[in-house]
Homo-oligomer: A and B are copies of this chain.
Amino acid sequence: MVDCIIIGSGVAGISAALTLKANGKTALIFGSKALSEKIEKAELIQNYPGLSNVTGKGFVAALKEQLKDAKIEIIEEKVSGVYAMKEKFAVATQQGGMYESKSVILACGVESVKQIEGEDAYLGRGVSACATCDGFLYKGKTIAVFCTSKRLEHEIGYLADIAKKVYLIPMYKGVEIVRDNVEIIRKMPTKIDGAKRVERVCFGQDAVEIDGMFVLRECTSPAILVGGLDMQDGHVKVNRDMSTNLKGCYAAGDCTGRPYQYAKAVGEGNVAAHSVSEFLK
């Protein structure tokens, strides 16, 4: 069992990982080896102390180099659930992994594409955030897939192999997937609707009938990942030491609220790591 599991490979997660390492703690960090799509897309960062007028690409390159120097490896699995148990946490991934730690730092960012009406209400009743977890339920059925990032396109392929028909609602540019059973809808859904279970996704006056819907987001809401986590205005509610309402569970970066800034995320990752070190005593 490691000291800490860090969820997210943006600057908050990296900052936490570097500090835990410096403090001699063991940690696993889940995310993408490409680190963060959001940082990479930044044209020019003007206010990050120490790196003058750096591009997002330049920042990512510097961070990758630093992780290599510090011998920190990112595990490329997507966390599907965090379970607070007595004296430890169990962390499950969409890839079927199960990991244990003494503490958790949520650094999973914030999703820029807003929630769809009904998304939360129908979660677990026909709405799923995880293709590999729930895809098998829709063999030979009709589903909609709302996807916010090109990086998740392989999950659409996975679902298209299972379902009879897929309505793909992409929120990203450069859709590459081409399948006979995939129909692309280029509209923003206004509502997920049904009775006991999901029955349709609406686009204003229009709607398509479905058996289920996958909402694939780069950043799954921490409230969905961690049961019982206190939220405030859509963000994780934290104290000055980055602790949450759950003992041993900390949060850092965009998921704790505005300003969505690298410097702020880096600072909070650092503080969360120090708080974890204190907690482990």
- Asked if B46 contacts A62 (CB within 8 A), the reply is no
Could you tell me which residues of chain A, from 254 to 280, have a CB within 8 Å of some CB in chain B?
257-259, 261, 263-271, 274
Number of A positions contacting B (CB below 8 A): 39
A195 CB-CB contact with B under 8 Å? no
In the assembled complex, the Cα of A17 lies from the Cα of B11 at a distance in Å of 21
Instruction: Knowing A238-B240, A261-B270, A270-B267, say if A22 contacts B49 (CB, 8 Å).
Output: no
Q: A49-B18, A49-B66 are in contact. Are A264 and B270 (CB under 8 A)?
A: yes
Q: Cβ of A268: which chain B residues have Cβ within 8 Å of it?
A: 267
Return A66 CB to nearest CB of chain B, in Å. Answer: 4
* A190 CB–B CB distance under 8 Å: no
User: Within 8 Å of chain B (Cβ to Cβ): is A63?
Assistant: yes
A59 contacts B by Cβ under 8 Å:
yes
A77 to chain B, nearest CB (A): 22
A21 within 8 A of B: yes
- Complex CA distance for A263 and B265, rounded to whole angstroms: 9
Oligomer: number of copies:
2
Taking the complex as formed, is A15 at the interface, i.e. its CB lies under 8 A from any CB of chain B?
A: yes
A-B pairs with beta carbons under 8 Å apart, 22 shown? A14-B49, A18-B49, A19-B47, A19-B261, A22-B46, A22-B47, A48-B266, A49-B66, A49-B266, A50-B66, A51-B62, A52-B62, A52-B65, A52-B70, A53-B69, A261-B270, A263-B270, A264-B270, A264-B274, A266-B267, A267-B267, A267-B268
- Per-position contact with B for A1-33: 1 when CB-CB < 8 Å, else 0? 000000000010011001101100000000000
Q: Quick one: which of B22, B49, B62 contacts A63, CB cutoff 8 A?
A: B49
Q: Which residues of B contact A258 (CB under 8 A)?
A: 274
Tell me the bound Cα distance from A21 to B15 in angstroms: 25
Shortest distance between the CB of A63 and any CB in chain B (Å): 6
Residues of B near A63 (CB, < 8 A) are: 49-50
Q: Report the bound CA distance from A265 to B54 in whole Å.
A: 20
Residue of B nearest to A260 (CB): B274
> Given A18-B47, A259-B274, list of 8 further CB < 8 A pairs?
A15-B49, A18-B48, A48-B50, A49-B269, A50-B266, A263-B267, A264-B267, A267-B267
